[in-house]
Structure 1
């Protein structure tokens, strides 16, 4: 008895079909992983998008690539897990909420920490829900029962455990150092959150008079306002021009402070006059020289970018207003020599979008060298992780070699509050750099420890700062699987198989995951790192929320269907790591390239309709496989081309050549199968002959196999036809 196959509708309706199958997949939990299942595993833990609104096309691109890989390996019979989740994104969410409060004439200090966190959680519920909906609409075949959030209870436990273990091992410390300070977000930011921008500025030359009235030295600077915090003038020890000045002092203009002239190898004799002003509290190089030569550290800057009381008559002025006024005062007093146009790199806060200020601040740091050593050893001895394409291996390695200690504290409220409690006496409630502290899992545990060391008459106050978002993200590949507990998920799926990510976060995230995993699990967190390019807008610019040039993938999905968008994004991957430009008309919300992919879907639909009409209700299984000696030439040709395509597709997917695999399938389906083979066998299908039976068997066999090949790329239409 043959199975009864209903006829396909005359037109393919992606909206109805895609909604139908997404609901069916969800109801039947077909993507739920089974950690008790035997066999080879394949696991992807998705890069968690920030809960900062909705996803743009760049996120959709990454989701599509991951889904091709996970569906392919699932179809190969592997025990697969695609684990989804979102990131709390401290600074980004603060920026959004601070803007909302500003519109109401308020600040977060006005409403307090508790109310602010209520707003943040409310925002997370709204934004996180939108993001999950978008990922489901793109067809991501994730196990939503295992969805994680970087502030959920399990991940919070992992973060505390990691912090305490690193602290007890002497790898986390608290100290007063120069950090990158963002006056916009009022928080420290790490080196990798700083973007260097080339700007057209000026180089000002000033006269600093020698204290003995024997002349002056000429210094040049791009930040004149910092001269108010100068505590020295440095020259290169090999610079013959200034050897007679070593040991003398100058009297600092405006301020009147007497400061020494000294020699240091760090000075570039080619920059400016070869004689540089030294402001240890406001420049990384000057900070090093200040420590070496035991100079005073004078901070002239408030955290909001205004000048403090150490700036004298300029106190209270914004740093850029003060710059103009300092120049004006130096000119009036006869100390300005000249002003030159000067193009130079200025560090900007990636989140705050303002120039960062090097600022002395007491912060928490992680010692990076011991963590980097483990990651470097895995890379050099075992090529672990394996980078695709290989050129990113050197970029990753170079960064591990030269990295500095990581400032992990942020002056924010939304995030993992640092698990350290300061021991405050009953009479003095002020926290200083010297206030003792206890690192613990909870306040109860901290109080027990503190009483043992300091007696009963104490009270505690938790450090108000939160951890850098990348600290919790660095634990993501194993914390999401249950670490620090040795869960079945962790035993089955860790280390994960493939990390799919953009090259722009190799430093932010990839390296931090490898270092954390190396330390806490003694192995790299993933076997392969597949580095894809960026989706750029019609002007070639990277799509981002902050640049407001992203395209909501749902717009194109609603217009053309999910499978059409998926296929477009994957097909346009020219090679691993290469960027793609999406054709898109913002005025009409139309895309020629996505429309072409919709036409491809329609072509497949019509071909399937034709084939199924001639199967007369039978299935490929009931028809059976055609006997070789009965095949005609065109049958042999299409079967040969099909098996070549199978081999090529498998080979290309396993080598991360997803774009080439997609293009190869298009050429086979549209060209070989639809335009040639179907046309060649049409006359055979109308005659009651053995030749017709062979043609029907071949058509059924090819359609059956083609749907399997195309399914990872276009899952909805292939599921519907299947």
Structure 2
């Protein structure tokens, strides 16, 4: 085991007096966390000579509160940093929050609406002041909730994407990108939210299947007729062409000619473009360059006019009978007018199709031609892809790499301007003669008549893309930047691989001279309910993790989340699982308390193996195997497996077997008891340190009581000493087999767990068990066989024979009746399920999950019959 400061000597019962008889998380967690922070355990020293280990928090929105997804992600990050801290690294878990442009502006605008005001009533400067005021009063409640969870972040370094340092970083990188020709202004089709009144990026659009109407419309007259289909009939008011494929012979005679656009006094050309799929629909498509991204490209290729027919609120601006209508009202009105003219060829209603919605407010997105600011991503995205391909950055699990490449290899230029007031205002000034000047953080903006700054702000993901280095003081070359960049690992959900991870990769490589922002990207899944369904308030299955923490303790919530965390896979979680983790925390508490009451100690060196019993050697051998196993799982980000390994080792092997097997040793006293007390102290010491990163509170309370050490937070991480004893493991394995088989037999016979019965043990076939006879009898409640003993049941197990006299313990006739009744029920169940599975008509109609359930019932019935028949055969 690892070296550690030895505590002062104490008597067998003194430490246990410090532990209450029951574990109450509320009495422990708050005071422990404040102690950890006050002692500076989480403070990172940029001048330390220790090897650095740095992780950034995925910055939660300032508008947010701790949801189960946060709790899940924070648990994983905290476990990694706590382990590395114990391993002697200089750890930094960087905290902070994102200003969340659209979301925060919406919150404050709703508050203003309650007062009967809008942001325009206040003006830009006063509105921004109002947002800062809201942030100071109401924003950032998540920080207090992070403390509840036990997040070991360096609070002294907490950052906000709108603070002065990060704003300087934003202005610096904008200026560099602009000067390098990687930021430009252009009129393009963007995703426009008529509710938020701003452009949003492609990755902020959520697509869902909606019911719509597919309308086929006849354009032109006589032989000059084409039929086009659309789900957005109102956009025909902005059509400037009809496109067909160059090789489509059906329309060859029309290419280069014009057709009349219904409901208007315009004629529009028929153009040939390879973008058109001649096999889809009629093979002719309407072209609306100002309101569709594909049509925009067709329009550019053919020099078509770009007619904008809606304003920013999606209200029709085209002159005519539809002027002033909302787009949905206009859609119905346009279809009605076309029907009246006899232009409707076909209508499909309802028509299910994929429709983009604003991820913030769920309003249907409107493609809109707009002058915006863009990042030219091609060289940045190539660098981000190359960093993973050449091994500088590893994505874990590796199968997620394909998603990453699919994104960065096909990335379109990024629209970074937002028509908001809250955010980083774009540092560009326009002059009276059409000048455009980009201003860096140390430069004075131009002034004088006619000069004004760009009114748009930057996409929130622009500033959060700088997070791994802006939080460390960039663009200044600070000690923190030199020490902690690049970060060791990024832990985040696969759902923001495109939103955030790709942005950080592009900006980090660009700003930091080709050095990526992290060595490893460890992706996790989404938290779902116990049935695998997405958690949502609208579904009624959303969970406030604080409620579970109040009821079961933070350790129970953390352990449950970690135990479900397989890399890149969604995590189902239910309250009963949190309850089971609370039981585990209680088990740890009670077992440690028992050990202290029986004199378990960490004082002095471990006795030599020669002094130890096979039971002692077995548990130490298993302990070292578990240390190695847990280390391997941590290095592979296998949180579920490491948590499961610790759970089964602690509960099954330490508490249920080693402690129980040692009771007879403790009772006998002498040197063997002293040895076992020291071994038990060692096992608990190491087990608590192994458990600490995932369950920090209960382990610190127990470890400091057990060892009198300062805190397990800064204790040494256990190391595998290399000690293994396969012979002891086999010997104790045989003991466990005997005890387990006899316990099963007792249960089958209806004996109560504490009921004592006379028994004779013949261990000639398993001589190694002789040393454990007293423990075996104690665990199995077996009395010695006295004169006149008559065996009514004999069990051969692992080379030993256990003979029991059950004559005075069981009413055999009543037991036979009970088992016979159970057998009849099992046989009836088998007959019914077999009949159903033999019914071809049933199998043809029943869903797969129903058939599988019946198959499972039949298998259970078969197993029950075998078990009951065996029990009946054993009755005398």
**Normalized against structure 2, the TM-score is what?**
0.77
Q: Give the deviation of 1:311 after TM superposition.
A: 4.4
CA distance in 1, matches of 2:136, 2:316: 39
CA distance in 1, matches of 2:323, 2:528: 44
Counterpart in the other structure of 2:652: 671
- Listed one character per residue, the Cα deviations across residues 673-713 of structure 1 (whole Å, up to 9, x for unaligned) are 00101111112213331111111111111011111100001
Contact 2:240 2:269 in 1 (8 A): yes
Counterpart selection for 1:14 from 20, 25, 32 = 25
Secondary structure of 1:98 counterpart:
helix
Stretches of structure 2 lacking an aligned partner (at least 5 in a row): 1-7, 704-876
Counterpart in the other structure of 2:597: 613
CA distance in 2, matches of 1:84, 1:545: 27
Contact 2:28 2:701 in 1 (8 A): yes
Contact 1:56 1:543 in 2 (8 A): no
Contact 1:236 1:269 in 2 (8 A): yes
Counterpart selection for 2:419 from 400, 404, 411 = 411
Q: Does 1:259 align with 2:268?
A: yes
Counterpart selection for 1:717 from 698, 710, 713 = 698
CA distance in 1, matches of 2:315, 2:424: 29
CA distance in 2, matches of 1:351, 1:405: 22
Secondary structure of 1:402 counterpart:
coil
Distance 1:380 1:347, change over 3 A: same
Counterpart in the other structure of 2:610: 629
Counterpart in the other structure of 1:2: 9
CA distance in 1, matches of 2:653, 2:620: 10
Secondary structure of 1:682 counterpart:
helix
Counterpart in the other structure of 1:388: 396
CA distance in 2, matches of 1:508, 1:161: 22
CA distance in 2, matches of 1:637, 1:52: 53
Distance 1:443 1:39, change over 3 A: closer
CA distance in 2, matches of 1:142, 1:13: 25
Higher relative contact order (CA 8 A, sep 6+): 1
Secondary structure of 2:474 counterpart:
coil
Q: Give the deviation of 1:501 after TM superposition.
A: 0.5
Counterpart in the other structure of 1:31: 42
Counterpart in the other structure of 2:664: 683
CA distance in 1, matches of 2:35, 2:664: 39
Counterpart in the other structure of 2:242: 233
Contact 2:185 2:373 in 1 (8 A): yes
Contact 1:514 1:525 in 2 (8 A): yes
Q: Does 1:437 align with 2:436?
A: yes
Contact 1:228 1:311 in 2 (8 A): no
Distance 1:312 1:385, change over 3 A: farther
Q: Give the deviation of 1:18 after TM superposition.
A: 0.4
Contact 1:279 1:286 in 2 (8 A): yes
Q: Does 1:486 align with 2:477?
A: yes
Q: Does 1:399 align with 2:407?
A: yes
Counterpart selection for 2:124 from 97, 101, 113 = 113
Q: Does 1:596 align with 2:580?
A: yes
Contact 1:234 1:275 in 2 (8 A): yes
Counterpart selection for 1:563 from 552, 555, 565 = 555
Contact 2:63 2:140 in 1 (8 A): no
**Aligned ranges 1:51-130 → 2 under 5 Å:** 51-130=62-141
- Listed one character per residue, the Cα deviations across residues 595-653 of structure 1 (whole Å, up to 9, x for unaligned) are 1111101100011111112228xx40x24312210111111111111111111011111
Contact 2:64 2:140 in 1 (8 A): no
Contact 1:653 1:661 in 2 (8 A): yes
Distance 1:87 1:543, change over 3 A: farther
Q: Give the deviation of 1:198 after TM superposition.
A: 1.9
Q: Does 1:463 align with 2:463?
A: no
Counterpart in the other structure of 1:432: none
Distance 1:666 1:505, change over 3 A: same
CA distance in 2, matches of 1:461, 1:491: 38
**Normalized against structure 1, the TM-score is what?**
0.93
Counterpart in the other structure of 1:49: 60
Q: Give the deviation of 1:253 after TM superposition.
A: 1.0
Secondary structure of 2:352 counterpart:
strand
Single out whichever of 270-279 and 673-682 deviates more from structure 2. 270-279
- Listed one character per residue, the Cα deviations across residues 230-269 of structure 1 (whole Å, up to 9, x for unaligned) are 1101100011110011111011111111111110000111
Counterpart selection for 2:336 from 328, 342, 348 = 328
**Aligned ranges 1:140-155 → 2 under 5 Å:** 140-155=151-166
Q: Give the deviation of 1:284 after TM superposition.
A: 0.8
CA distance in 2, matches of 1:361, 1:206: 28
Single out whichever of 534-543 and 564-573 deviates more from structure 2. 534-543
Q: Does 1:706 align with 2:687?
A: yes
**Aligned ranges 1:97-496 → 2 under 5 Å:** 97-210=108-221, 214-308=223-317, 310-341=318-349, 342-381=351-390, 383-424=391-432, 435-441=434-440, 445-447=444-446, 458-496=449-487
Counterpart in the other structure of 2:859: none
Secondary structure of 1:661 counterpart:
helix
- Listed one character per residue, the Cα deviations across residues 422-463 of structure 1 (whole Å, up to 9, x for unaligned) are 2247xxxxxxxxx4221113697121xx7xxxxxx6342211
